[in-house]
Chains A and B, each alone.
Chain A
Amino acid sequence: MVGVDTLVEQSSGRVMTARELARTSSSHSLLPVAMSLTALLPQGALQRGRVYGCVGMGATSLAVSLAARATQDGSWLAFVDMPTIGYAAVRDHGVALQRVVSVNTHSAGARWTRVVGAIIDGVDIVIVSSLHCSAADARRLVSRVQAQSAVLIVVGVSAHVTADVILRSESGSWRFGAHAHSRELTVSCHGRRAHLTSVQRLILPGAQGAVAGVESSSPS
């Protein structure tokens, strides 16, 4: 357990709620990500209970590459309302496909919230393409993510939810030779949970389909 002093310090003198206490004392609050993404993210990992947003070019690839490493360690990944997802590419990103489910809700509003809420209850990482619900429902969903210590990744811009951490690809260009070889993206990370904006250049997807850092993009 964490000592009382640290708790008071961490919560800046405020008394913690039971939920916050549980979150702080939980030793499994981080989910690992690929090496090349650690420098980009606050704490160098995905934090349970947080909402991540991926926007700009390559948003889908970015979302999948965030989740890949954790699925190898036993976490499950759910795609919600993303029927176009290409599993072969997802596999090349390093996702363990045996722990992937795809949910198609065919609905919006309160029912959508219930379906996604149920998925959040059991699945560690949930990727949604957009939020088909009201602002109030979105808030409920976010608190459910916190309560269940899940990770929600929203691909694309959503009006109703403010992500804790937003990854935005500012610019990108393909290396195109005999075929589309790889793409270099400049990704910035900001948001209310990211104290400093960090900017990284990534190869996404790389020649083998996974994410890589720019330095390590030596020809294979």
Chain B
Amino acid sequence: MTPAPTRATRTIAIVFPDWHECIFPDDPDASHRSFEKVVRVISRTAPLVHVHEPGTALLAARGPSRYHGGDEAVAARLLEDCTTIGLSLRCGVGIADGQLAARIAAARGSRDGVARVVPPGRSPDFLSRLPVSVLHRHGEISHDTVDLLQRLGLRTLASVAGLDERSLIDRFGAEGGVIHRLVHGDDVAVFLPDDVPTDFSLCEQWDTPLQSEASVVATLHDSCVRFVEQISSRGLQCIRVRISMYSDHDEVSDRVWHEQCGFTVGSLVDRVRWQLSGWVDSGARDAPTAGVIRVEMAPLGMRQALAEQQQLWGGRSDHDERVARAVTMARAVHADVQVTVPQWQGGRDVLSVYGQVDASVVDLRDAKACLERVSRGMGSPQTWSGSLIRPLPITLHHTPVDVELVDARGKHVMVTGRHELSSSPAILKFSDHSLRVRQWAGPWPLEERWWDVSRRRRFARLQVLVDTRVVLLHMEKSRWTMVAEYD
């Protein structure tokens, strides 16, 4: 475990308060990638930006402040950088002791577009009168916990700061510890670069530079698996990782990534990909001029893997998360791309037993909900009298194909009122070709929703063996259509 610094770290926060509402609100992946552009601009002034979430970046203030000549100077410089990006979003820069104070100062500053600097040592005063709700808005503490604090009568940060760490942890678990560190400013969120623990860090080096993004990501995949497994085998989780990439010409891309829920293989690989594509796309000035020769990953923040073994309880698995990401990426390619998942609807008509819902409105990572979606109300649908007998057709024509069914003398075959065929079918005619009917089964009548005048349907189904294929025909309103095929 990394030791927590005893003193508040002087922290710079750059905050876009409206980022979540304005930039790809439904697409975290695209949001992250857009924020990469902002981070790139910031890192020209101060390297080693910590990306917390899209819209919030943190930096250790010590180095940049010394280099640019003081907190005020570096804050003004960063604010100028962010406004030159040309986003029509409010942006604030704040410098204070500890990340909470810095983030609040930045959010305050964003209202009137100025940089706010809380002088060293004054952060406790700055925080003390603020309501506890800022812990939720700026400190990633859950809404429920904040609500509970308020109901316990702790309305200001000063009153929370009065509690000792032990009682907070007793009452709120690990989150209590985080609250204590936040209000006292001794959060471990921002590390000085020389604090990197080497224990789990990993370095991959190649003799020939890797030229494409895909090859780097593919080659690093197993390293990421090792990285995550090594950490989780000790019962830990990495919540902050520094990824450094070196090109053959010694150019560097350096970034610190945060993942509140702990990095999984999938989310770590995503960070590699985002960082790499951001670096490659960054234009002539920063883009690498040669292939990637070395990648280093160093975990900066760890925590006990607390109650995250959700998979045992049918919760999220790394697998499901990868799929959710892949679907998001596929949908991001173009607006026309449709991703759907099946949903059980029931009924006797084979065409409508399963419907489709758009994947963006369901959480693919929620295994329980996914299972419910496809099996809701499904006792054993084959026992519904009147449904089609198995095996069921695997190809469904949701837009039925018009066909004609005639007997040996060329007369149209109809279904009588007593649910019998008027004559034996011999030829199935499509618009451009005809097939000889070798065998048939049915007709099976079906009346749906007879109680509902506007939606009721009456039709008959007929299975026909033509050539070597079996097709399913519907006869509705004296018209034959082909609705399904048994491929």
Contact = CB atoms under 8 A, between A and B. Distances in A.
Given A103-B337, A122-B325, A180-B465, A88 B392 contact: yes
Interface in A68-83: 74-76, 83
Nearest to B352: A88
Contacts of B342: 87, 97, 100, 102
B398 A84 contact: yes
Interface stretch (A40-48, A53-61, A190-198): A53-61
A144 B484 contact: no
A89 to B, nearest CB: 4
B252 interface: no
A18 B392 contact: no
Given A58-B487, A101-B327, A179-B441, A209 B468 contact: no
Contacts of B303: none
Contact of B326 (A121, A177, A179): A121
Interface string B442-482: 10000000000000000000010100111000000000000
Given A115-B337, A179-B441, A86 B370 contact: no
Given A102-B356, A119-B326, A122-B322, A111 B441 contact: no
B395 A60 contact: yes
Interface string B308-346: 000000000101101111110110111011111110100
B359 interface: yes
Contact of B323 (A18, A22, A93, A122): A122
Given A61-B394, A85-B396, A101 B341 contact: yes
B439 interface: yes
Interface string A153-186: 0000000000000000000111011111011000
Contacts of A104: 337-340
Given A84-B396, A106-B336, A208 B391 contact: yes
Interface stretch (B109-117, B214-222, B281-289): B214-222
Contacts of A111: 333-334
A59 B487 CA distance: 7
A187 interface: no
A182 B396 CA distance: 18
B470 A123 contact: no
Contact of A18 (B219, B325, B337, B469): B219
Interface in A92-110: 92-93, 97-107
SS class of chain A's interface: helix, strand, loop or mixed?
A: mixed
A75 B317 CA distance: 11
Given A111-B334, A174-B468, A60 B394 contact: yes
Given A19-B219, A102-B342, A176 B441 contact: yes
SS class of chain B's interface: helix, strand, loop or mixed?
A: mixed
B333 A103 contact: no
Contacts of A100: 341-342, 374
A207 interface: yes
B333 A118 contact: yes
A119 B397 CA distance: 25
Contacts of B392: 86, 88-89, 92, 209
Contacts, number: 181
Nearest to A25: B222
A7 interface: no
Contacts of A179: 389, 441-442, 463
A72 B266 CA distance: 21
Nearest to A104: B338
Given A102-B356, A122-B327, A147-B218, A86 B337 contact: no
A90 interface: yes
Interface string A29-56: 0000000000000000000000000000
28 contacts: A18-B206, A57-B487, A61-B486, A75-B319, A84-B396, A86-B395, A88-B354, A89-B393, A92-B392, A98-B374, A101-B323, A101-B340, A103-B330, A104-B338, A104-B339, A105-B336, A106-B336, A114-B333, A121-B326, A148-B221, A174-B465, A174-B486, A206-B391, A207-B390, A207-B391, A209-B390, A209-B391, A209-B392
Interface of B: 206, 214-215, 217-219, 221-222, 266, 317, 319-320, 322-327, 329-330, 332-334, 336-342, 344, 350, 353-354, 356, 359, 364, 367, 370-371, 373-375, 381, 389-398, 439, 441-442, 463, 465, 468-470, 484, 486-487
